[in-house]
Structure formats: structure tokens, C-alpha cells
Amino acid sequence: MGPPNNLKERLEACEAAISERVELKSRQQDLLAVAVLLSSLQPTGQDAIEEFLRSRKMLDLMESPLLKDWLSEAEARGKAEGKAEEGQRMLARLLSRQFGPLPQAVASSLQAIAAPERLEELVDAALEATSLEDFQQNL
């Protein structure tokens, strides 16, 4: 018969195979969570995934320890990225208010910095700098 052609059918087949072969409920949840997450890599699969999850009332899936770990890690990464972006924006604003419009090279260098600690160091350097060139020595 071959594999199902559409994503929803593949997820249903995966769910059936997992239920048939794996006894432990938490392990079933983990495996189905992996299947759903891997399916989400397909650029056009979002609607099928959402339909699959809604049709199953997949609240059990949210109890998957593996999925909980992934979601908490993703949330932490998102928060860290948001803090870094805010730090980059504030540092660029501080520098442009002190020294005028920033050259593209400086703006690009600031956008490449993700570590909040490094951004804090650069804020201190910006406050102490007497010119943009002086600041760039710390960049």
C-alpha cells in the first residue's frame, strides 16, 4: 500500500503504529510529540498538524515529558533572544544619541552580539567613550 500521501494521514498512521507497539502511555506521548514536531518542519504542513491535533483533542500530548522539556527550552531561548535584541536596540540608541548615526559596520557588529553580559559591558564602554572610534576599540 505504501506510505500515506498527505501529512494528516501520515500522522494518523504514526499514531496507530505507536499505539499498537508501545505500551507505556508517557512513551507513546513522547513518540507522537516527536512525530508532530518533525512534521512541523514541512513548510506547508501547519494546517494538517493543527487539524490532526484538534481532531484528537491532543491534551494528552501536552503531558509528554519530552515535549514539556522542548517547550520550556524554546521559551527560555525566546526570552534570551528577546533580551539580546532589546539590549542591542538600546545600545544602538545610546550610541546614536551620543555620537550621531551609526555606520552600518557598527550596527551589524551590535546585532551579532547575543550575550547579555557582553551587551552590558558595551553599555558601560559606551557611557565612558569620548567618541565612536573610542567605543569601537571595545567592540
Q: How many CA atoms lie within 13 A of 120 on its CB side?
A: 4
Instruction: For residue 83, report the phi and psi dihedrals to the nearest 5 degrees.
Output: -65, -40
Number of folded domains that form the chain = 2
Q: How far apart are CA 108 and CA 68, in angstroms?
A: 35
Give residue 29's domain range: 7-63
Residue 1 placed within a domain:
no
Q: Helices then strands (H, E): number in the chain?
A: 7, 0
Question: Based on the domain organization, do 13 and 56 belong to the same domain?
Answer: yes
Residue 110 placed within a domain:
yes
State which of 63, 88, 104 marks the end of a domain.
Answer: 63
Give the end-to-end CA distance of the chain in Å, rounded to a whole number: 61
Q: Give the three cell numbers for residue 113.
A: 552580539
Which pLDDT tens digit goes with each residue over 63-107? 667 667 766 777 777 788 888 888 899 999 999 999 999 999 999
Question: Based on the domain organization, do 101 and 126 belong to the same domain?
Answer: yes
Which pLDDT tens digit goes with each residue over 7-49? 878 888 888 898 899 888 878 877 887 887 777 777 676 777 7
Question: Based on the domain organization, do 82 and 131 belong to the same domain?
Answer: yes
